[in-house]
Amino acid sequence: MNFKIAVLPGDGIGPEISAQGVDVMSAVCERFGHDVEYSYALCGADAIDRTGDPFPEETFRTCLWADAVLFSAVGDPRFDNDPTAKVRPEQGLLAMRKKLGLFANIRPVETFDCLIHMSPLRKEIIEGADFVCIRELTGGMYFGEKFESDDRAYDTNAYTRTEIERILRVAYAYAGRRRKHLTVVDKANVLASSRLWRKVAQEMAPQYPDITTDYMYVDNAAMRMIQDPRDVIVTENTFGDILTDEGSVISGSMGLLPSASTGEKTPVFEPIHGSWPQAKGKNIANPIAQILSVAMLFEHFCLTEEGAAIRQAVNAALDANVRTPEIQIPDGPFYGTREVGAWIVDYIRNH
């Protein structure tokens, strides 16, 4: 296969982990006989500094050219600490999602046997955890009508039937490949938008008779996630953002979990974590979430052997204590971002 990949390193630790993702993808393509071409583009604070736009038109064109986007992270404390800023790095991420029609965000949460002790949850709860959140990504409060003044502000949580139906179809497809159980998460006892979600889901459920559908309020779901993280849930944008960040700590580190965003145009593959500007240039950021995003990229194109090769290499690295400092064993050897990436690349090439 010939791959065209748009690479958006972004801000903070983004360029460091992005480089490892690119190296891993190149190694897999070399091993399995694929050709790959990369095109780099600006996004986030870096794009604001250079162009004034967090998602420039040229970046959008590069994404449309590509078969897939390998994205890293955006965010900068210069903007976080300035509530008056009119342009922010995160607006670039939202613009990318909207312009590419990326309405479905898939966030799997898995555990690694050698890191179970690092989870804040008990071993018997998380051992074998295998959880997926399907998050609607282009609707809700993040994109609804907004108003802000010195005395009053609001964000509109708007959804249409079409938006809900299409994300539910994605969720049912995932549930059908797994335990044949789907939980629709909402706040239908309070929010009108959630009542529409539940109504549409109840109407669609009979179309999937082999899948058990149930419904859960988001506050209850937040509790259930840490009691039994073995399910597929689907939910709206804001709830999904919060729940998936909660789910990320189950594995022991936010630096371990990838995600995919799919929809109308080019799919995007990215780690779930942010830009961690405090670690920029220190060679301590965990590249595994970025690397596993590459595995999800290959699997999106039904290249399961390629994805499995990456997962095998990641597991081998963790088992061999080739880990960045936040998950390293006490008094273990130092491996930085570059060293972990290089070890995984070498493993892929030689196994």
pLDDT in tens, 121-165: 888 888 878 889 999 999 999 888 999 888 999 999 999 999 999
Report in angstroms the alpha-carbon separations of 314 from 69, 88, 91, 307, 311. 21, 34, 32, 11, 5
Query: What's the mean pLDDT in 166-181?
Result: 94
Structure tokens belonging to residue 180: 């044949």
Task: Reply yes or no on whether the pLDDT at 301 is more than 80.
Answer: yes
Q: Which residue has the tokens 């804001």?
A: 238
Q: Which of 49, 67, 155, 245 is catalytic?
A: 245
What pLDDT, on the 0 to 100 scale, is given for residue 297?
A: 97
Whole-model pTM: value is 0.91
User: Is 217 annotated as catalytic?
Assistant: no
pLDDT level of residue 80 (50, 70, 90 thresholds)? confident
What pLDDT, on the 0 to 100 scale, is given for residue 131?
A: 86
Q: Which of 23, 99, 142, 335 is catalytic?
A: 142
What pLDDT, on the 0 to 100 scale, is given for residue 112?
A: 87
Q: Which of 11, 172, 187, 347 is catalytic?
A: 187
pLDDT level of residue 58 (50, 70, 90 thresholds)? very high
User: Is 187 annotated as catalytic?
Assistant: yes
Task: Reply yes or no on whether the pLDDT at 335 is more than 80.
Answer: yes
What pLDDT, on the 0 to 100 scale, is given for residue 137?
A: 93
pLDDT digits (tens, 9 = 90+) for 221-269: 999 888 887 789 999 999 998 998 888 788 878 888 999 999 999 999 9
User: Is 142 annotated as catalytic?
Assistant: yes
Task: Reply yes or no on whether the pLDDT at 195 is more than 90.
Answer: yes
Structure tokens belonging to residue 239: 């709830």
Query: What's the mean pLDDT in 298-327?
Result: 96
Of residues 99 and 227, more confidence is placed in 99
Task: Reply yes or no on whether the pLDDT at 344 is more than 90.
Answer: yes
User: Is 150 annotated as catalytic?
Assistant: no
Q: Which of 80, 82, 214, 219 is catalytic?
A: 219
Q: Which of 76, 241, 335, 347 is catalytic?
A: 241
The Cα–Cα gap between 349 and 198 comes to: 48
Query: What's the mean pLDDT in 83-105?
Result: 90
Q: Which residue has the tokens 């998950």?
A: 327
Residue 215: in which H helix or E strand, if any?
A: strand 212-217
Q: What angle is formed at CA 184 by the lines to CA 219 and CA 250, rounded to 5 degrees?
A: 60
